[in-house]
Amino acid sequence: MQAVLDASDSSEWIVANSGEGTDCGRVVAGERSRSVVLPLADHVISSELARVPQVVAAYAQDDEHGTKHVFCVVAEHEPVVYARVLDAEERIARQLPRLALHTHVRAHQGRSPSAAVPLTSSPIYVR
């Protein structure tokens, strides 16, 4: 399923694919009906979180209000992690201004990253 996240220009749309397995999509958009290949929300999010060295994995889940919850798994809760995750969140917001995103930091404390996130979330990034 594809969802439009931003439409700053009628000929250039940013789209996201909330399905699994792909990281980009092709759409026909705008009055000129030209095809554009654009990044997907999960791809943007995982690319930005990959820039935070402490984040070893990220899991995502959408809620019933349309908010995307992203769980950033780190070793322990530390102030430096939060500063970097907040920076990443700002970069994501600039790229996906209409995405309702709520990041959560989760400490794995030496366990498997999946042990620290909700069972209903899906991995979008594993280092």
Partner 1 sequence: MTDARVHHDRYQYMRGLYDAYPPALPAHRDWEIVVGFYAALHLVQAYFCTKNMRFQAARHDQRMAAIRSSPELNKSRPFVQAYKMLQDVSEQVRYEPGFKVAGTDLQLAKANLETVERMLQAKVNRILAAHHSP
CB of 81 to partner 1, least distance (A): 9
Q: Are 85 and 101 in contact (CB under 8 A)?
A: no
Judge contact between 46 and 24, C-beta under 8 A.
Answer: no
For residue 44, what are the contacts with CB-CB under 8 A and spacing of at least 6? 92, 95, 96
* Residue among 111 and 127 whose Cβ is closer to partner 1: 111
Residue 102 binds partner 1, judged by CB under 8 A: yes
Give the other-Cβ count within 10 Å of 108's Cβ. Answer: 17
Count of residues interacting with partner 1 (CB under 8 A): 21
- 5, 41, 88, 105: residue in contact with partner 1 (rule CB under 8 A): 105
Select the span of 17-25, 36-44, 48-56, 97-105 touching partner 1 (CB under 8 A): 97-105
**First vs last Cα of the chain: how many Å apart?**
26
Q: What's the min distance (Å) between Cβ of 77 and partner 1?
A: 5
